[in-house]
Amino acid sequence: MEDKMAMVIFQPSGQRGEVPKGINLIEASRLLGVDIETLCGEKKVCGKCKVRIEEGRFEKYGIDSKKSHVSPWQEEEDKYIKAKEKESGYRLACVTNVEGDLLVFVPEESRAGKQVVSKAARDIEIEQNPAVKIYYVAVEGPSFEEPTGDFERICRGLEKEYGLSNLRIDIQTLRQLPTALRDGDWKVTVSVWMDQEVIRVRPGKVENHYGLAIDVGTTTVAGYFCNLTTMEVVDTVSLMNPQCKYGEDVMARITYHMTTPDGLKRMSNDIIEGLNWLIDQAVKGTYPPKKKKKKEKGEKGPAEYVEVPEEGKTYLRLTREDIEDITLGGNTAMHHILLQLNPEHMGLAPFPPVIHHSLDIRARDLNIDINPSSYVFVLPNEAGFVGADNVGVLIAEEPYKKDEIQLIIDIGTNGELVLGNKHKLISSSCATGPALEGAQLQFGMRAAPGAIERINIDPETHEVDYKVIGRDAWRKYSEAKDMKAKGICGSGILDVLAELYNAGIVMKSGVFNKDQKSDRYRKNPDTNQPEFVLAWADESSISKDIVITQKDVRQIQLAKGALYAGCKLMMRRMGMEKVDKVKIAGAFGTHVDREKALIMGLFPDCEIEKILSVGNAAGDGCRAALLNRDKRKEANWVSRNVEYIELTVEGDFETEFMEALQIPHMTDEFPHLEGIVPDEILHQK
Amino acid sequence: MEDKMAMVIFQPSGQRGEVPKGINLIEASRLLGVDIETLCGEKKVCGKCKVRIEEGRFEKYGIDSKKSHVSPWQEEEDKYIKAKEKESGYRLACVTNVEGDLLVFVPEESRAGKQVVSKAARDIEIEQNPAVKIYYVAVEGPSFEEPTGDFERICRGLEKEYGLSNLRIDIQTLRQLPTALRDGDWKVTVSVWMDQEVIRVRPGKVENHYGLAIDVGTTTVAGYFCNLTTMEVVDTVSLMNPQCKYGEDVMARITYHMTTPDGLKRMSNDIIEGLNWLIDQAVKGTYPPKKKKKKEKGEKGPAEYVEVPEEGKTYLRLTREDIEDITLGGNTAMHHILLQLNPEHMGLAPFPPVIHHSLDIRARDLNIDINPSSYVFVLPNEAGFVGADNVGVLIAEEPYKKDEIQLIIDIGTNGELVLGNKHKLISSSCATGPALEGAQLQFGMRAAPGAIERINIDPETHEVDYKVIGRDAWRKYSEAKDMKAKGICGSGILDVLAELYNAGIVMKSGVFNKDQKSDRYRKNPDTNQPEFVLAWADESSISKDIVITQKDVRQIQLAKGALYAGCKLMMRRMGMEKVDKVKIAGAFGTHVDREKALIMGLFPDCEIEKILSVGNAAGDGCRAALLNRDKRKEANWVSRNVEYIELTVEGDFETEFMEALQIPHMTDEFPHLEGIVPDEILHQK
């Protein structure tokens, strides 16, 4: 009988195990806990998952090197794997199936690095009015004259002291109530949700209560852990969206749902597990667990603060139950997948979501492990491709309260645009695609250590200076071997096009200038395509020249063209020639160089000073909804009062898009580039 | 190493298995699925759990008959087990621990029989206004002009057609929504709870929807399966409360919680499991499962009706999901235990419950397996010992809408009393104890086959005629051997005292008349106590004379005295000399002979025609709350507007109680006994 399992070992990590024969190497890597980059979600179009197969059986089975233990070569692989690489055993992991015992080497450029997340909390003004409030109440114990039940007893106290009436109580909290009342000698602190429902009762007087605002991005999940009493951000926590292993962008995830039984449930479980991990981080951060002191006799429940004399510090001592409220934002696909709502229809024209309105869902119904009676508030969606994350941006930035015309661009894996002021707001989304985030480019990567994030090119010498994530010193102040560059990430990608253009290396059309003086410009011998070397092999950790190719430039042009055309069409729809302010949001937005963004023509012309980076505004909106319940109403209002425009059905989208592919040159459209871009470049024909 | 397990075999059932050494025989019987009667909940006071130990190892282990395999004799056992029985190996199962392999014989009188439940639905008038209503709505599919989300789309339809606004939707239903809409081609039937929340969406037009009203009694659980569209009772279903194995009355259950870790959770799980079984019975009853036809291609979901041509019948074809609403009533202890609310405090003076107000709890939060988004409505409690069941009685009988003064007596394991009219209502409870239900009497038993339920005693001959449950023919029309009497149940117990009194066998004081002519009267040789034989050994299935002892008569007197004194004190509190109507509720109430109830003095004097049996009024109240949401408000109102009186703290309770122990004789208090009870009896000194 043939064995149905095969032993697979991944190098250099050494992770190993038996996997069912017939699965592909990406699936095998997941089973064995190895991270292989799969930007396209196994759609065979990114070529990022190259691995080297080293055939052979292991001692346990004896040697049998004549038989191939992988499935045959696929046509698609020719596009990404050169003849020479093929010879030495390179394959795409996504099309290569396990047929027998294998030793697989994962080269560094194929390893999924841990993304560097930078979503710190901004100072934004929020009025204090959280959905969950705490009330201290002291009542008389029961007697024969007054044998009223426990719940009615505290309700009477809450009504008398605070005017709260018609309260209800969740069954889980009701179960705690008798003990809390008696432990606290009929004095308790009651947490009330929306002045409607008792969701927690703690003995005695407690001063503080806590909540978490979470922005679920396609790539990054960021959480703001807030004290709901003092309004302070206690901590910010983040993680990679664990769904990244199913594909980088929303369409890859939707495809995964449509092609995999239980795929939706699996992705939902993964993000929920991620949120629970995030909650754990938030709570753990408040008090070092190894210092946890033992509960002393007679002590009633854990004290909120604990002193650590040897450190001279006082720490918060919190548990998961101390989180009493959560707000959640995310694009419509992340929203649907997290809630296990079918995302299939929102992925197809005319892109209807399952729901727009916000939701109050009991945390336990989502398996989110906090105070068991608490609710999770899920922000509303605007449309299929403008989701709750954009609503978050809106309630943080409040363009609907301003006179000035704002253009807000949220660049995540998808581009979301809002334009208008207090009289009218319209929104749209455009398929920037993942190019601006590093996918689809030959050396594109996520914002992980080794990624080039800043680039300057000397217009005279065409020498390249750059900075990588994980190292403060720029190239020109470093030894080559210390740079350890691996690829180029989002912010570097924006820089590179502006710099190549500014230095005259590429023309306004995006074509490389053939009249080059630098040895960094060359034609690739294999593809016969022009390319420009950003970092030489000895500066890299992958022993290869890191280049930007003609094809890469085209990809960036497609992305920026989509964004620019979107902005342009929205302005036309609103009958506008110019905007008063451009706000760039998104994790991407915090890193982008606004001058370079304007040079490459990411959006229509605007005074440089009026271009603002607003960081993770979506997360700020979640935080606003956490700390001020009125923001929740505002969110629902704005989600139904922003007019969503589907750009691709506008008649002149194609024309605008084609024009927008060009890098801006001197036309009436970009007066503000004058003096920033050299004259001979700006006025080129 | 000593073996920690022992093999136990129970006879005559033959059930066997290994159990941990050290547990008692009741626990062992539960583990092995053997029913042993434990009326007192293992408090060693009922003596009902007698078993005969037959020591010895089994073949597997070899013979070792010199060593005792049970724990030593306990003092308490002397009270219940005679010297001769002790010799032949009799023990009380609740105090006898397993120390080695055992063979145990369970005599028939110690076996817990399956109770005969008779809680049919009465015709009561209920206005149709269920909490859950269904609405058919047809909408347009999404387009680029109108790409609104699925939920908002049906909301717009529901608002336009039915004026429903501000609806919310449960996450579980939201997950079904996209499929239901597309399966139904944008025509769906929507179930809405309280005009507030969408709890189910089914494709196409559906005519009916269903609910279940459940009365959770201490002993019996009764369910009314109702069509919420037509108001019909589709079926009535019932089961024994599975918690009976932890003790017969509420105090035994509360004690079990207080003495057993996880006891509350265990009892709660048992009743929830019971409710799920009940739900299953309700649904199964609608369509024979073996006839289920296969789903044909193109068929969308199961049809509501299915024809079975060979039977010429049309059956309902329902699933658990078709139950969209549940109402629950029960006494405060059953209420608390089911909901896992600590019942400890309501069992101690001043008896405060955890909550009075009704609760809307998501069915899934109680692990009740119906339509997942549906709610369970739990009726409110009046007080610690007058619970949601009594509120059920009140909203069914509506004494607060009448001019006449009603006395409503609900006799379950506890006695609950309500007195008053539309001007004022007071309630109380009295510890009738389980005597009226069969416990504590020597031959008392539950209403199970073999129980004597009706008794007539000839005043001349003192011959006894009786009827047993499970046999239509009375004694005098039967052969002795066909009667198979086993004991005496609640309704028989009421009969027996009235009949013994009427025939002059017992005096008004409750003492046996020593001047007896019947050979049925005798002194028990062991106890030297007078007793009266109701059925001779050859008429029984236990080969024993079934007798009523002097001590039994005392027990009955104590119970009826408590009830009478309670009524009397309530009337005094209200300043009343007489009542206009007496209503007897409870399963017990449907069987009781009102003339005999008056003769024995269960309640103050009243015209015989004004004594009414109202059956399971508590269950009727649950049904009213299921079919008419206004009854839910009424329930909350009445639960807080009936004044609860704690009788035991009234100064003259003791005096009244002592007087009430007597069987009524001719005083001014019982004018209506004239002509019913023979003169010489009624006027005895």
Mark yes or no for CB contact B174/A355 under 8 Å. yes
Residue B599 has pLDDT above 50, yes or no: yes
Q: Is B660 helix (H, G, I), strand (E, B) or coil?
A: helix
Instruction: Name the H helices within B529-629.
Output: 550-574, 587-591, 594-600, 617-627
Count how many Cα atoms sit within 13 Å of the Cα of residue B270 in the half-sphere of its side chain: 20
Residue A213 has pLDDT above 60, yes or no: yes
- CB-nearest partner of A352 from B147, B344, B352: B147
Residue A41 has pLDDT above 60, yes or no: yes
For residue B636, with 0-12 CB atoms within 10 Å meaning exposed, 13-18 middle and 19 or more buried, which class applies?
Answer: middle
- Please give the residue that has the higher pLDDT: either B349 or A412: B349
Going from the C-alpha of B589 to that of each of B219, B239, B569, B616, the distances in angstroms are 15, 18, 22, 8
Nearest to B34 by CA among B43, B42, B25: B25
Q: Is A111 helix (H, G, I), strand (E, B) or coil?
A: strand
- Please give the residue that has the higher pLDDT: either A238 or A113: A238
Q: Alpha-carbon torsion A477, A482, A487, A490, what sign? A: negative
Count how many Cα atoms sit within 13 Å of the Cα of residue A100 in the half-sphere of its side chain: 18
pLDDT, position B258? 94
pLDDT, position B588? 54
- Report the distance separating Cα B316 and Cα B286, nearest Å: 5
pLDDT, position B661? 87
Here the tokens at position B663 are 């069987």
Q: Does B342 reach chain A within 8 Å, measured CB to CB?
A: yes
Q: Does A637 reach chain B within 8 Å, measured CB to CB?
A: no
| Average pLDDT over every residue of B36-52 | 75
pLDDT, position B304? 59
pLDDT digits over B110-152, tens only?
Answer: 776 544 444 455 667 888 999 999 999 999 999 988 899 999 9
**Cβ-based contacts of A383 with chain B (< 8 Å):** 147
Averaged confidence pLDDT in chain B: 86
If contacts are CB pairs under 8 Å, which of residues 377-396 in chain A contact chain B?
Answer: 381, 383-384
Are B212 and B282 a contacting pair, CB within 8 Å?
yes
Here the tokens at position A464 are 């390249």
If contacts are CB pairs under 8 Å, which of residues 515-534 in chain A contact chain B?
Answer: none
In degrees and rounded to multiples of 5, residue A73 shows phi and psi of -60, 140
Nearest to A334 by CA among A453, A184, A221: A221
**Cβ-based contacts of B354 with chain A (< 8 Å):** 149-151, 174, 177-178
- Please give the residue that has the higher pLDDT: either B303 or B460: B460
Among all residues of chain A, which has the CA nearest to that of B179? A342
Here the tokens at position A205 are 């007087």
Q: Does A319 reach chain B within 8 Å, measured CB to CB?
A: no
Q: Does A342 reach chain B within 8 Å, measured CB to CB?
A: yes
pTM of the model: 0.80
Helix (H) or strand (E) holding B349: none
Helix (H) or strand (E) holding A214: strand A210-216
Mark yes or no for CB contact B354/A149 under 8 Å. yes
Mark yes or no for CB contact B147/A646 under 8 Å. yes
Mark yes or no for CB contact A149/B179 under 8 Å. no
pLDDT digits over A589-598, tens only?
Answer: 466 788 888 8
Q: Does A466 reach chain B within 8 Å, measured CB to CB?
A: no
pLDDT, position A291? 44
Q: Alpha-carbon torsion A173, A177, A179, A183, what sign? A: positive
**Cβ-based contacts of B150 with chain A (< 8 Å):** 345, 352-355
**Cβ-based contacts of B175 with chain A (< 8 Å):** 339-342
- CB-nearest partner of B148 from A144, A352, A359: A352
pLDDT, position A428? 92
Sequence letter at residue B448: A
Averaged confidence pLDDT in chain A: 86
CA distance to partner chain A, nearest, from residue B182 (Å): 10
Mark yes or no for CB contact A349/B144 under 8 Å. yes
Are B410 and B589 a contacting pair, CB within 8 Å?
yes
| Average pLDDT over every residue of B392-398 | 95
Beta-strand pair B102-105/B50-55: antiparallel
pLDDT band at A171 (very low <50, low <70, confident <90, very high): very high
pLDDT band at A67 (very low <50, low <70, confident <90, very high): low
Residue B567 has pLDDT above 70, yes or no: yes
| Average pLDDT over every residue of A10-30 | 82
B45: left (phi over 0), alpha (psi -120 to 50) or beta: alpha
Are A431 and A412 a contacting pair, CB within 8 Å?
no
CA distance to partner chain B, nearest, from residue A616 (Å): 26
Q: Alpha-carbon torsion A367, A368, A369, A374, what sign? A: negative
pLDDT band at B197 (very low <50, low <70, confident <90, very high): very high
| Average pLDDT over every residue of B10-30 | 82
Cα distance from N-terminal residue to C-terminal residue, chain A: 73
Q: Alpha-carbon torsion B518, B524, B528, B534, what sign? A: negative
- Report the distance separating Cα A334 and Cα A264, nearest Å: 11
DSSP class per residue in A381-394: PSBTTB-HHHHHHH
- Report the distance separating Cα A152 and Cα B644, nearest Å: 15
pLDDT band at B219 (very low <50, low <70, confident <90, very high): confident
Beta-strand pair B197-203/B187-193: antiparallel
Residue A298 has pLDDT above 50, yes or no: no
| Average pLDDT over every residue of B176-200 | 97
Mark yes or no for CB contact A339/B175 under 8 Å. yes
Q: Does A633 reach chain B within 8 Å, measured CB to CB?
A: no
pLDDT, position A58? 40
pLDDT band at A63 (very low <50, low <70, confident <90, very high): very low
Q: Does B641 reach chain A within 8 Å, measured CB to CB?
A: no
- Report the distance separating Cα B530 and Cα B517, nearest Å: 14
pLDDT, position A532? 96
| Average pLDDT over every residue of B433-443 | 75
Residue B79 has pLDDT above 50, yes or no: yes
pLDDT digits over A344-359, tens only?
Answer: 999 888 999 999 999 9
Which residue is associated with the tokens 């409505």? B377
- CB-nearest partner of A149 from B143, B177, B355: B355
E-strand stretches of A21-143: 50-55, 90-92, 102-105, 132-138
pLDDT, position A315? 65
Lowest average pLDDT, out of A240-244, A652-656, B307-311, B478-482, goes to B307-311
For residue B128, with 0-12 CB atoms within 10 Å meaning exposed, 13-18 middle and 19 or more buried, which class applies?
Answer: exposed
| Average pLDDT over every residue of A513-529 | 88
CB contact set of B122 (below 8 Å; sequence gap of 6+) = B614, B615, B616, B620
Mark yes or no for CB contact B151/A356 under 8 Å. yes
Cα distance from N-terminal residue to C-terminal residue, chain B: 73
pLDDT band at A422 (very low <50, low <70, confident <90, very high): very high
Lowest average pLDDT, out of A227-231, B313-317, B679-683, goes to B313-317
Residue B58 has pLDDT above 80, yes or no: no
Residue B292 has pLDDT above 70, yes or no: no
Helix (H) or strand (E) holding B265: helix B263-284
Q: Is A1 helix (H, G, I), strand (E, B) or coil?
A: coil
- Please give the residue that has the higher pLDDT: either B554 or A291: B554
Residue B310 has pLDDT above 50, yes or no: yes
In degrees and rounded to multiples of 5, residue B562 shows phi and psi of -60, -45
pLDDT band at A546 (very low <50, low <70, confident <90, very high): very high
Are B467 and B591 a contacting pair, CB within 8 Å?
no
Percent of chain A with pLDDT over 90: 48
Count how many Cα atoms sit within 13 Å of the Cα of residue B335 in the half-sphere of its side chain: 34
pLDDT band at B303 (very low <50, low <70, confident <90, very high): low
Are B429 and B472 a contacting pair, CB within 8 Å?
no
DSSP state of B452: E
Residue A660 has pLDDT above 50, yes or no: yes
Q: Is A118 helix (H, G, I), strand (E, B) or coil?
A: coil
- CB-nearest partner of A150 from B152, B354, B361: B354
In degrees and rounded to multiples of 5, residue B240 shows phi and psi of -70, 140
Among all residues of chain A, which has the CA nearest to that of B356? A149
Here the tokens at position B567 are 């009524």
pLDDT digits over B63-76, tens only?
Answer: 444 567 888 888 88
pLDDT, position B64? 47
Residue A515 has pLDDT above 80, yes or no: yes
DSSP class per residue in A444-493: B--S-TTEEEEEEE-TTT--EEEEETT--S-GGGS-HHHH-B-EE-HHHH
- CB-nearest partner of B354 from A174, A349, A383: A174
- Report the distance separating Cα A616 and Cα B518, nearest Å: 97
Break chain B down into helix, strand, coil percent, rounded to 5.
35, 25, 40
Q: Does B671 reach chain A within 8 Å, measured CB to CB?
A: no
Are B192 and B132 a contacting pair, CB within 8 Å?
yes
ipTM given for this complex = 0.79
- CB-nearest partner of A356 from B149, B349, B353: B149
**Cβ-based contacts of B147 with chain A (< 8 Å):** 350-352, 383-384, 644, 646
| Average pLDDT over every residue of A448-463 | 90
- Report the distance separating Cα A279 and Cα B383, nearest Å: 41
pLDDT, position B41? 63
- Please give the residue that has the higher pLDDT: either A425 or B647: A425
pLDDT, position A682? 76
**Cβ-based contacts of A381 with chain B (< 8 Å):** 149
Helix (H) or strand (E) holding A557: helix A550-573
Mark yes or no for CB contact A354/B178 under 8 Å. yes
Q: Does B644 reach chain A within 8 Å, measured CB to CB?
A: yes
Which residue is associated with the tokens 């060693």? B44
Are A427 and A409 a contacting pair, CB within 8 Å?
no
DSSP class per residue in A320-383: GGGEEEEEEEE-HHHHHHHTT---TGGGSTT---S--S-EEEEGGGGT--SSTT-EEEEPPPSB
Residue A61 has pLDDT above 60, yes or no: no
| Average pLDDT over every residue of B490-512 | 89
CA distance to partner chain A, nearest, from residue B39 (Å): 28
- Please give the residue that has the higher pLDDT: either A34 or A186: A186
pLDDT band at A121 (very low <50, low <70, confident <90, very high): low
- CB-nearest partner of B147 from A148, A365, A384: A384
Which residue is associated with the tokens 């066909």? B482
Residue B507 has pLDDT above 70, yes or no: yes
Lowest average pLDDT, out of A130-134, A378-382, B554-558, goes to B554-558
E-strand stretches of B93-159: 102-105, 132-138
Q: Does A352 reach chain B within 8 Å, measured CB to CB?
A: yes
Mark yes or no for CB contact A356/B174 under 8 Å. no
pLDDT band at B298 (very low <50, low <70, confident <90, very high): very low
Sequence letter at residue B154: I
Name beta bridge partners: B222.
B215, B238
Residue A602 has pLDDT above 60, yes or no: yes
Q: Does B167 reach chain A within 8 Å, measured CB to CB?
A: no
If contacts are CB pairs under 8 Å, which of residues 177-196 in chain B contact chain A?
Answer: 177-179, 182
Mark yes or no for CB contact A149/B353 under 8 Å. yes
Here the tokens at position B91 are 């023990």
Lowest average pLDDT, out of A303-307, A469-473, B142-146, B517-521, goes to A303-307
Sequence letter at residue B327: T
Peptide bond into B12 cis (omega under 30): yes
CA distance to partner chain A, nearest, from residue B185 (Å): 14
Q: Does B361 reach chain A within 8 Å, measured CB to CB?
A: yes
| Average pLDDT over every residue of A252-275 | 94
CA distance to partner chain A, nearest, from residue B248 (Å): 24
Peptide bond into B372 cis (omega under 30): no
Rg value, chain B, Cα: 28
pLDDT, position A228? 95
pLDDT, position A271? 95
Residue B236 has pLDDT above 80, yes or no: yes
| Average pLDDT over every residue of B354-380 | 98
CB contact set of B415 (below 8 Å; sequence gap of 6+) = B409, B429, B430, B431, B432, B562, B563, B566
Mark yes or no for CB contact B646/A144 under 8 Å. yes
| Average pLDDT over every residue of A26-46 | 75
Residue A116 has pLDDT above 70, yes or no: no
DSSP state of B545: -
CA distance to partner chain B, nearest, from residue A647 (Å): 11
pLDDT, position B516? 81
pLDDT, position A666? 52
Mark yes or no for CB contact B147/A351 under 8 Å. yes
SS3 per residue for B301-343? CCCCEEEEHHHCEEEECCCHHHEEEEEEEECHHHHHHHCCCCC
pLDDT, position A59? 35
Mark yes or no for CB contact A143/B177 under 8 Å. no
Are B376 and B600 a contacting pair, CB within 8 Å?
no
Residue A412 has pLDDT above 80, yes or no: no
